[in-house]
Amino acid sequence: MAPYIDEALLDDPDELSRKDSRSTLRALASAGAQVREALHLSREAGIDRLADQERPRSVLVAAIGGSSIVADVLELLAEPGSPVPVQARRNLPLPGWVGPLDLVVAVSLSGRAPGPLAVAAEAARRGASLLTVGLDDSPLAEVTRRARGTHIGIGRNRTSSRTALWTLLAPVLVGADRLGLLDAPEESLLAVADRLDERAEELRPSSEAFVNPAKLLAVQLAETVPVVLGDGPLGGVAAARASSMLARTARIPALWGELPDAASGIVACFDGPYTAIGGRRPGTYDDSRIRLGDIDTSGWEPHHFDEPDGELLERPRGPRGTAGRDLFADPYLDGPAPPQLGLLMLRDAPAQAPTPETVEAETLTDAVLTTARDAGVRVMEVRAGAGDPVVRLADHVAMVDFAATYLAIGLGLDPSVSPHVADLRDRTS
């Protein structure tokens, strides 16, 4: 049985504010301002001096929890053209190859997160260069200053790394740009700030649910067992963020993956107990036989599907448009229906100049969505707008952040306070 979400509450700004004890929605709406403030703080900290330094042999990024997406984004944006390797590290041990020729980036809002702090301290001991982001008056800032590295402070009223993503990410992108690892000029980051402002206006609490995409998405997600899938590397980073926000903010566990590698793993879930096929609800299926060979899979890697191309597959299907639900089921005699599997597909903006690779990716995405609908999965799609990669990523991040927060509040939860997380901290402190 799906959890109950109070849709009326989502259209009551006063109730939204009352249940949101630490102003999570307000903090998310400040994302554009975070970018602009981070650019200013980065300049004040002397980040432009990195352009005069020798390019590092490699870059290692240490970030955990709500900050971990910083490492994912830097890897994503640097991978296509970076002249040096960039990789993420959550905690010690610091790899043995890190030394004076390398750069370590450590990110922690409080400046006290044990993993990034320990990595930065060990990197400083080995003579590696440091670029850190976090509270000015913190152990992390002190480690960086002693090592003569570059530390960028954070703005005021930043209380959660989940809602201060752009405070942490923007300085790292600026530093990577100055080092020549990726292309993130100030104009691009200001475009990110503008896009985030547009999304904050579109997804604002006072916007009614029937025209607010994030509120609509929250209602849809509440009725499902969600799976989040990105249609490529950029969507994959956003999908990981969505999974994290759904778990930590809305307390909803969500599997996530990235196409093409996750295709078979995600599609296999369509045979499980949360779809019309796996649930075996009576009166909703036919005995269709489908060939994978009916779909053009030329050029796809073999690991996209577990079954060989063209093999006959027995697959009962629910009627299209019914999502596999039995309209005549009696909840008193048959018991409550299990929640429905939901697939949230995060799609990149359409390619301006399609290539064989982008066409192949679109074909695979469409095939997965068609398979999902045929299996009785509830499909939700979010398409990024046009722009540079980081601008398109900002589109997805804003949507999933707001949706997860509305979902938490609609379920009667405070998005920023978890009693069980507090209990865990008490038991391990």
**What pLDDT score was predicted for residue 168?**
97
399 in a domain, yes or no?
A: yes
Q: Are residues 154 and 269 in the same domain?
A: no
Fill in the amino acid letter for 315: R
140-154 residue pLDDT tens:
999 999 999 999 999
Q: Are residues 141 and 285 in the same domain?
A: no
Q: Are residues 158 and 239 in the same domain?
A: no
Q: Are residues 132 and 36 in the same domain?
A: yes
Q: Are residues 71 and 137 in the same domain?
A: yes
Which pTM was predicted? 0.87
88 in a domain, yes or no?
A: yes
Q: Are residues 37 and 167 in the same domain?
A: yes
How many C-alpha atoms does 44 have within 13 Å on its Cβ side? 11
Q: Are residues 218 and 176 in the same domain?
A: no
What domain count does the chain have?
2
Q: Are residues 143 and 239 in the same domain?
A: no
399-420 residue pLDDT tens:
999 999 999 999 999 999 898 9
Q: Are residues 239 and 328 in the same domain?
A: yes
Structural domain boundaries enclosing 280: 213-410
208 in a domain, yes or no?
A: no
What HEC string does the chain produce?
A: CCCCCCHHHHCCHHHHHHHCCCCHHHHHHCHHHHHHHHHHHHHHCCHHHHHHCCCCCCEEEECCHHHHHHHHHHHHHHCCCCCCCEEEECCCCCCCCCCCCCEEEEEECCCCCHHHHHHHHHHHHCCCEEEEEECCCCHHHHHHHHCCCEEECCCCCCCCCCCCHHHHHHHHHHHHHHCCCCCCCHHHHHHHHHHHHHHHHHCCCCCCCCCCHHHHHHHHHHCEEEEEEECCHHHHHHHHHHHHHHHHCCCCCCEEEECCCCHHHHHHHHHCCCCHHHHCCCCCCECCEEEHHHCCCCCCCHHHCCCCCCCEEECCECCCCCCCCCCCCCHHHHCCCCCEEEEEEEECCCCCCCCHHHHHHHHHHHHHHHHHHHCCCEEEEEECCCCCHHHHHHHHHHHHHHHHHHHHHHCCCCCCCCHHHHHHHHHHC
The CATH number of the domain where 67 resides is what?
3.40.50.10490
Alpha carbon dihedral 391, 396, 397, 403, in 10-degree steps, equals 150
12 in a domain, yes or no?
A: no
Which residue ranges of the chain lie beneath pLDDT 70?
1-2, 277-337
361 in a domain, yes or no?
A: yes
Q: Are residues 169 and 258 in the same domain?
A: no
**What pLDDT score was predicted for residue 400?**
98
419 in a domain, yes or no?
A: no
9 in a domain, yes or no?
A: no
420 in a domain, yes or no?
A: no
**What pLDDT score was predicted for residue 339?**
84
Q: Are residues 381 and 344 in the same domain?
A: yes
Q: Are residues 122 and 259 in the same domain?
A: no
CA 152 to centroid of chain Cα atoms: 24
**What pLDDT score was predicted for residue 279?**
55
DSSP state of 176: H
